[in-house]
Amino acid sequence: MSFTGTVKNEITILKLTETAKIALISGFFRNNYQIIDNAITISSENEYVVSYLKELLDSYEEISYKEEFLDNNNFSKNKLKALIITKGEEFIRENFCIENDVVPNYLVELDDEVRGYLRGVFLSSGSINDPKTSRYHLEFLIEKGEEAVFVQKILNNYFLNVKLLSRDKGFMLYIKEADKISDFLKIIGCSKAVLYYEEIRVYRDAKNKTNRLNNCEQANMDRVIDSAMEQLKYIKILEDNLAVELLDDKTKEALEYRKKYQEASLKELSEIISLETGKRITKSGLNHRFRKIKELALKFMNN
Task: Decide if pLDDT at 72 tops 90.
Answer: no
Q: What is the largest CA-CA distance in the chain?
A: 105
Task: Decide if pLDDT at 303 tops 80.
Answer: no
Q: What percent of the chain has pLDDT over 70?
A: 98
The single-letter DSSP state of residue 178 is H
State pTM to two decimals. Answer: 0.69
* Burial group, residue 247, by CB count within 10 angstroms (0-12, 13-18, 19+): middle
- Give the model's pLDDT for residue 167: 87
Amino acid at 81: K
> Among positive and negative, which fits the CA dihedral 178, 183, 186, 191?
positive
- Give the model's pLDDT for residue 200: 87
Residue 98 φ then ψ, to 5°: -75, -20
Distance (Å, whole) CA 272 – CA 280? 10
One of 3.40.50.720, 3.10.28.10, 2.60.40.10, 3.40.50.150 is the CATH number of 3-189, namely 3.10.28.10
Q: 66-74: which pairs have CB atoms within 8 A and are 24 or more residues apart?
A: 70/36, 70/41, 70/43, 72/45
Give the pLDDT band of residue 143 (cuts 50, 70, 90).
Answer: very high
Chain segment 48-57, per-residue pLDDT in tens = 999 999 999 9
- Give the model's pLDDT for residue 83: 92
Q: What is the radius of gyration, based on Cα positions, of the chain?
A: 34
Mean per-residue pLDDT, 88-105:
92
Mean per-residue pLDDT, 150-154:
96
- Yes or no: say if 128 and 7 are a contact pair by the CB < 8 Å rule: yes
Domain extents for the chain?
3-189, 219-302
Give CA separation, 139 vs 47, 58, 151, in Å.
Answer: 21, 30, 12
Q: Does residue 242 come out as left (phi exceeding 0), alpha (psi in the -120 to 50 range) or beta?
A: left
Mean per-residue pLDDT, 207-221:
75
- Give the model's pLDDT for residue 221: 79
What spatial distance separates the first Cα and last Cα of the chain, rounded to whole Å? Answer: 74
- Give the model's pLDDT for residue 218: 77
- Yes or no: say if 9 and 101 are a contact pair by the CB < 8 Å rule: no
Q: Which residue has the higher pLDDT, 231 or 209?
A: 231
Residue 105 neighbours by CB distance under 10 Å: 7
- Mean pLDDT of the residues in the chain: 90
Q: Which residue has the higher pLDDT, 205 or 62?
A: 62
- Give the model's pLDDT for residue 76: 57
